[in-house]
Amino acid sequence: MIDSQQASAALDDINDVVQRVRQSRIYQIASLIVVMWGVLVFAAYIAIYIWPRQGYMIWTIINLLGLVISVTMGVFINRRSGTPRFPIRALTTFLLIVAFGVFCSVVLGHFGSRQMTVFWALYGMLFYAIAGLWFGYAFIVIAMCTTALTLIGYYYAGAAFLLWMAVAHGGGLIVGGLWMRRI
């Protein structure tokens, strides 16, 4: 038989492993969604570079597409983990974030297309950073890198800004998501 100190150490060990497994599963699931958004965002910047007048429509389509895929993935993931629920809280969170972003960027601020692009990229990364405080440092790393690259592009990329953003924002999410799967 063991004493209470050894039992306590064993329980601490168990808790440590459980925390690691939980974080690993969060990263596994989140990485799929992060990579998916990375691909969509990359495609959106390239499309806007080719058809600059269609920016609003392209972003609307991309966001709706991303939302539908994210919700579908959420339903699938919930089902696999034995909780067949519609991810209503995640969907509501996303819609509130978008609504507030639209209010700030369209109603309050009258941004030009370059400012609008930077605003949405930084605004999105703000929530990655917040997610990082709750779910793991990988989100913070992705947010900080993408934010830094976005600001560099805003000031220095000139006419190649959208191409820069495709790589920095879209590519950053793809690389970050793939990295998440390895940690």
Question: Which parts of this chain interact with other proteins (CB under 8 A)?
Answer: 1-4, 7-8, 10-11, 13-14, 17-18, 20-22, 24-25, 80-82
Q: Nearer to other proteins by C-beta: 10 or 152?
A: 10
Question: In whole angstroms, what is the distance from residue 64 CA to residue 134 CA?
Answer: 26
No. of helices (H) and no. of strands (E), the chain: 7, 0
Cα–Cα dist 142/181, whole Å: 13
Cβ distance to other proteins smaller for residue 17 or 95: 17
**What is the DSSP annotation of 5-55?**
HHHHHHHHHHHHHHHHHHHHHHHHHHHHHHHHHHHHHHHHHHHHHHSGGGH
Which one, 25 or 85, has the nearer CB to other proteins?
25
| Least distance to other proteins, CB of residue 112, Å | 47
Contact between 37 and 62 under an 8 Å Cβ cutoff? The reply is no
Q: Which is nearer to other proteins, 79 or 89 (CB)?
A: 79
Nearest approach, Cβ of 16 to other proteins (angstroms)?
A: 8
User: Considering only CA atoms, which of 22, 35, 52 is closest in space to residue 134?
Assistant: 22
| Contact call for residues 67 and 40 (beta carbons, < 8 A) | no
To the nearest whole angstrom, how small is the minimum distance from the Cβ of residue 22 to other proteins? 7
CB atoms within 10 A of CB 141: 17
Q: Smallest distance from the beta carbon of 83 to other proteins, in angstroms?
A: 9
Task: Give the residue with the Cβ less far from other proteins, 29 or 163.
Answer: 29
CB of 86 to other proteins, least distance (A): 18
